[in-house]
Amino acid sequence: MFREYHRWFSPRLGRDMELLEFGHDGDAVIVFPTRQGRFFDYENWGLVGALHDSIGRGRLRLFCVDSVDSEAWYCRGLPPWERIARHRTYEQYVLGEVIPLIRSRNSAAPLVAHGCSIGAYHAVNLAFRHPELFRRVVGLSGRYDLTRPMGPFVDLLDGYYDQDVYFQTPSHFIPNLTDPDVLDRLRALSITLAVGEDDPFCDNARHLSQALSDRGVPNQLAVWRGEAHRAREWCAMVRTYL
């Protein structure tokens, strides 16, 4: 299997960023890591191996990116408005640096956003904000509202709320979408949300799925038995949905 390590200084983020590329052809999948995770976790946890056949046959090409969540959502030493600003800069890094790298490999490959846990938030949020760029989005065990507690998981913005937070929260902006052009682009997007029935984020995934359906946006909500919030279940999920 083709595997290549990339590292460069990001002028947007002001620091070195790393990613791993797997495969030689096929749909280009941007893989976002889990909470405060790293670009190598997807490989280390066996998810790349779970997709070995699809990658080897040229059906999928993975681009496993790093995150700056420790400098953004999970940086409790920063005021909330600075956390959201750092996240917005990260989005610009993906749009302005990662996607051009992908396009330099294959300018015509369909683009897929994918992640597990908060990686699913990144994937879904990015694809919903820029649906014209993506063919598919696959979110596993995702939390799509970071502004309210869910089970043991706290509000990541300490009650702070403004327009920037709203437009970075799929559970908030999707129910209010009325722009027909944006809705048409979302309807052209293949959307899969998978979550365990005992996962603290299950109700949130159900809410987002229903909000999409209410706006006439087709989507697949797959509810798995148990919590299903581990690499073992994610390996089975990616073989099913990617």
In this structure, the chain runs to a length of: 242
Q: Which domain holds residue 131?
A: 3-241
Cβ neighbours of residue 174 under 8 Å, at least 6 residues apart?
128, 208, 211, 212, 215, 217
pLDDT at residue 118 in the model: 97
Q: Average pLDDT for consecutive 10-residue bins of the chain (242 residues)?
A: 97 98 98 96 98 98 97 96 98 98 96 98 98 98 97 95 97 98 98 98 98 98 98 98 98
Pairing of strands 190-196, 220-224: parallel
Q: What is the pLDDT of residues 123-153, one digit of tens each?
A: 999 999 999 999 999 999 999 999 999 999 9
pLDDT at residue 162 in the model: 97
What is the C-alpha to C-alpha distance for residues 84 and 151, in angstroms, rounded to an integer?
A: 22
Q: Check which CATH number belongs to the domain holding 122 and give it.
A: 3.40.50.1820
In order of 2, 128, 174, 239, the CA distances from 133 in angstroms are 25, 10, 18, 24
Mean pLDDT computed over every residue of the chain = 97
Looking at the chain, the whole-number percentage of residues with pLDDT higher than 90 is 99
Residue 81 structure tokens: 């408005």
φ and ψ at residue 76, rounded to 5 degrees: -70, -10
Number of domains in the chain: 1
Residue carrying structure tokens 């056949």: 53
What is the C-alpha to C-alpha distance for residues 144 and 108, in angstroms, rounded to an integer?
A: 29
Q: What is the pLDDT of residues 63-100, one digit of tens each?
A: 999 999 999 999 999 999 999 999 999 999 999 999 99
Pairing of strands 3-10, 15-22: antiparallel
pLDDT at residue 210 in the model: 98
35 and 74 in contact (C-beta within 8 Å)? yes
Looking at the chain, the whole-number percentage of residues with pLDDT higher than 70 is 100
65 and 94 in contact (C-beta within 8 Å)? yes
